[in-house]
Amino acid sequence: MFAFFSRRLVQAVLVMLVISVIAFSIQDNLGDPLRELVGQSVSEAERQSLRNQMGLNDPFFVQYWRFFKKALLGDLGTSYFFKRPALDVILDKLPATLELVFGTTLIVILFSVPIGVFAAIYPKQWFLRLVMGMSIIGISIPVFLTAIMSIYIFSVELGWLPSFGRGETVELYGWTVGFLTRDGLMHLILPCTALSSIMLPLFIRLIRAEMMEVLESEYIRFAWAKGLTRRRIWFLHALKNTLLPVITVGGLQIGTLIAFTILTETVFQWPGMGFLFLEAVNRVDTPLIVAYLIVVGLIFVIANTIVDLIYGLVNPTVRLARSHPEGE
């Protein structure tokens, strides 16, 4: 367990290093920070001296090393627009985005597991076949379309659900959370549903396919031959094996999920990191962009490490990878 964990930790650090290099080199390619700072009216000579002063003419690695040392201390520069530390600006918006991601994850898990499992057990049942058919359509409709359509139907036409912002939030251990108030919850429904519309069909289909394969396996046949109850065979013997590959895919999809928060937050005017990021891109607020990439990278690495740990707990062959089968 310890070996597994430390190996994962080394990997995580390496991934973060790569992300930081990428994030940093993006800085150079995103317009001229001076123009943002001083405007058009400054003479070329003045610009050059300012560049030298800011170290913008130093070699790449010198600049990166400077950036890296500061980043380790949590200093990712100052946002040109907000005139505040970029990391602080980002972290202010973190709870909103995490709430969106968790809500979506919850929806995906709560729906995909039972639907996928039952669709595998009863492949001929009409309702489940309908759901499977709809999931194909679901996969092919872009998120922004789902989002706009759901806003049109549930906010504009029916007036049931709010379509923008977080609604009423409360303070909880320094975090602003929305899911504790009724209004906050109502505001979560549409964005979370829209965001889960890409993941849900994917996971339903994945779980169904895996479960069907597992149900055909010899060990499931043996479980039937032992006279176990259907419940035990389906929900213990088969489900546990089905979830192994699903957990792995789940880890990989976290990246996609975070990427799609940018879009979802924009459509729903959700005051999260993704929305902020898009604004930062428009304003060429480079420190903010870099800070966003680093924070998102960190979330991704942490989430994947957790997923790997869960996988290790479910799959005995990972946990005990170092012990070998013993002879007769």
* 240 binds another protein per the rule CB under 8 A: yes
β-pairing verdict for 175-177 and 170-172: antiparallel
From 26, 224, 269, 306, residue interacting with another protein (rule: CB under 8 A): 224
* 327 binds another protein per the rule CB under 8 A: yes
Distance CA(315)–CA(255), nearest Å, equals 23
> Are the C-beta atoms of residues 234 and 117 closer than 8 Å to each other?
yes
What is the DSSP code string of 241-270?
A: HHHHHHHHHHHHHHHHHHHHHHHHHHHTT-
* 219 binds another protein per the rule CB under 8 A: yes
Contacts of 281 (CB under 8 A, 6+ apart): 289
Smallest separation (angstroms) from another protein to the CB of 320: 7
* 50 binds another protein per the rule CB under 8 A: no
Structure tokens at 172: 């909880």
Question: Closer CB to another protein, residue 196 or residue 241?
Answer: 241
From 91, 94, 186, 244, residue interacting with another protein (rule: CB under 8 A): 244
From 126, 227, 282, 322, residue interacting with another protein (rule: CB under 8 A): 227
Q: For residue 176, give the DSSP letter.
A: E
* 122 binds another protein per the rule CB under 8 A: no
* 218 binds another protein per the rule CB under 8 A: yes
Question: Closer CB to another protein, residue 84 or residue 221?
Answer: 221
x/- track of binding to another protein for residues 178-217 (CB under 8 A): --------------------------------------xx
What is the DSSP code string of 23-42?
A: HHHHHHTSS-HHHHHH-S-S
Question: Of 106, 101, 88, 99, which is closest to residue 295 (Cα–Cα)?
Answer: 88
Smallest separation (angstroms) from another protein to the CB of 306: 20
x/- track of binding to another protein for residues 287-326 (CB under 8 A): ---------------------------xxxx--x--x-xx
* 328 binds another protein per the rule CB under 8 A: yes
> Are the C-beta atoms of residues 100 and 192 closer than 8 Å to each other?
yes
Contacts of 265 (CB under 8 A, 6+ apart): 96, 97, 100, 191, 271, 272, 273, 274, 275, 278
From 102, 232, 252, 259, residue interacting with another protein (rule: CB under 8 A): 232
From 170, 236, 252, 302, residue interacting with another protein (rule: CB under 8 A): 236
Structure tokens at 103: 């809500």
Phi, psi of 85 (to 5 degrees): -55, 130
Give the interface with another protein as residue ranges (CB under 8 A). Answer: 216-219, 221-229, 232, 236-237, 240-241, 244, 314-317, 320, 323, 325-328
